Structure 1
Amino acid sequence: MKFTYLRISFLFVILILLSGCLYPNGELEKNQVPNEAQLNTIQHAIEQYQEQTNGLLPIKTKENDTPIFEKYLIDFSALKEQNIITEIPGNAYENGGVYQYAIINPEDDPQVKLIDLRITEEIRRINVQLDIYRDKHIYPPFGEEIADGFYSVNYKVLGYEEPLTISSPYSAENLPIIMDTDGKLYVDYRIELNNALNQYEHQYTDGDDIRFLLANNTPFVPAYSFPYTIRNGEPVFMQD
């Protein structure tokens, strides 16, 4: 009888532990998808914040040379201090999610967008291997030149078995990770930009930064990208 009671108690504890493990996993799945309602909520919060602060934006201070799409990150604590929001979106990095909330067009028409932090993590992981390689070699591990000043990455010398890619936040495509002459890594969005040029109405011409075609028409910004323009109807790297 005592043994049966102990066994039942043990199974009860196990069930509690398992249910405790499953719940966070369910929450984690929800935190890995963009949520239009959450985006709209924060968009309204940004607009309300501007009304209460004479046009200021609740953004974190970043260096001036920070790339445009990673520069204006939303400061949720500022929104809370103004009693505009009571909780941070579940899919936000600050709440255990995989997205950073950012603002584009801050001066003219502030819009709330998402940075997929899985891209950030993959770039960081490759940079670790890149730093190890650069400690022993003079030049970065250049692969084939894909455009003037841009190269594929020689993934084999970094210890990888396959070419370096990242899952696109826009589609099921795998986007190449490339580097410039200084060995800085970028995501090559030309596949998605080509699709966007055909999908969305636009008036972009040679010299315009067409990355905003993705940023303005989708929930995501093209993080870790080099500026692109349009030439002969196709996306090309914007050269100085």
Structure 2
Amino acid sequence: MKYFKLLIIPLIAFLLTGCLYPDAKLEKNQMPNQAQLDAIQKAVDQYREQESGLLPIKTKDQDTPIFLKYPIDFSKLHQKGLIGEAPGTAFVNGGHYEYTLITPEENPTVKLVDLRTSEAIRSLKTKVRFYQQENKYPPFKEQIAKGVYSLDYEALGLDEPPTVESPYSQQKLPIYINERGKLFIDYRKDLYKYMRNKEHSYSTGDDIRYLLTDYAPFAPAYSEPYTIKNGEPAFMSELSS
């Protein structure tokens, strides 16, 4: 009986742990914390020093959007003994985030891309592609700015205009389409808030998307370039209008 109790107590503890910490509590389902980002940043800096300026990144096509172009290759960091394994929040370890680098030439900095956003864009791309194949033109609705259009969501079989949750504010951001048929997320709501509440020295002609990365761990993936026009965030294309 004594040995039976010794066996059953760990089993009960294990079962209770499973009940108290469901999938929603697992590390892979949590937002990466600053300690994780700092650890990967340190590993990237060490790798760069050891490899004469090379970066531990995966190769992407030349035309890959800038904030998706330099995903970190954790296997390269592991092979050099700079990390044990990828963070539990990283996609390669079952998490929701891709760890990526911005400003790779001047100051390689670790940022995050929420891949749930990527999945939303990918799903919508499929609908847009089928629409274009059938109708020979993109599903434009209303012009938002020069070269920027809202989507005819009803024609795509959607009940409401498509949006994604902002990693910066958790508010809903619209998905638009440009004149080339490329889908993107409109971050102007977040940029407006950051322009009003954060110190910065950006001016007309600058790409102000970096204002978001100056103060947050996320990269504004699937975005178009923005600048400042009449004191407001504006699409870069509007400068020539």
Is 1:143 matched with 2:141? yes
The one-character-per-residue Cα deviations of 1:98-145 (angstroms, maximum 9, x if unpaired) are: 100001111111110000111100000111111121121021111111
The one-character-per-residue Cα deviations of 1:5-59 (angstroms, maximum 9, x if unpaired) are: xxxxxxxx9xx89976986614546533131111011011111112221222101
In 2, are the aligned partners of 1:99 and 1:115 still within 8 Å (CA)?
A: yes
Percent same amino acid among aligned pairs?
55
In 2, are the aligned partners of 1:59 and 1:73 still within 8 Å (CA)?
A: yes
User: Counterpart of 2:144 in 1: which secondary structure?
Assistant: strand
In 2, are the aligned partners of 1:28 and 1:97 still within 8 Å (CA)?
A: no
Is 1:70 matched with 2:68? yes
Aligned-partner residue type, residue 39 of structure 2: T
Whole-angstrom CA distance in 2 between matches of 1:21 and 1:75:
34
Unaligned runs of 5+ in 1: 1-12
Aligned-partner residue type, residue 208 of structure 1: D
- Give runs of aligned pairs for residues 20-169 of structure 1, distance below 5 A: 25-28=23-26, 30-169=28-167
Change (3 A) 1:228 1:117: same
Whole-angstrom CA distance in 1 between matches of 2:126 and 2:219:
24
User: Counterpart of 1:202 in 2: which secondary structure?
Assistant: coil
Q: TM-score, normalised by structure 2?
A: 0.88
Q: TM-score, normalised by structure 1?
A: 0.88
Is 1:216 matched with 2:214? yes
Whole-angstrom CA distance in 1 between matches of 2:215 and 2:224:
19
Identify the residue that residue 229 of structure 1 maps to in structure 2. 227
Aligned-partner residue type, residue 173 of structure 1: Q
In 2, are the aligned partners of 1:210 and 1:228 still within 8 Å (CA)?
A: yes
Whole-angstrom CA distance in 2 between matches of 1:143 and 1:18:
53
Number of aligned positions between the proteins: 227
Q: More displaced, 30-39 or 121-130? A: 30-39
Cα drift, residue 216 of structure 1: 2.0
User: Counterpart of 2:111 in 1: which secondary structure?
Assistant: strand
In 2, are the aligned partners of 1:92 and 1:100 still within 8 Å (CA)?
A: yes
User: Counterpart of 1:79 in 2: which secondary structure?
Assistant: helix
Aligned-partner residue type, residue 221 of structure 1: A
Whole-angstrom CA distance in 2 between matches of 1:136 and 1:46:
46
Identify the residue that residue 8 of structure 1 maps to in structure 2. none
Whole-angstrom CA distance in 2 between matches of 1:126 and 1:69:
20
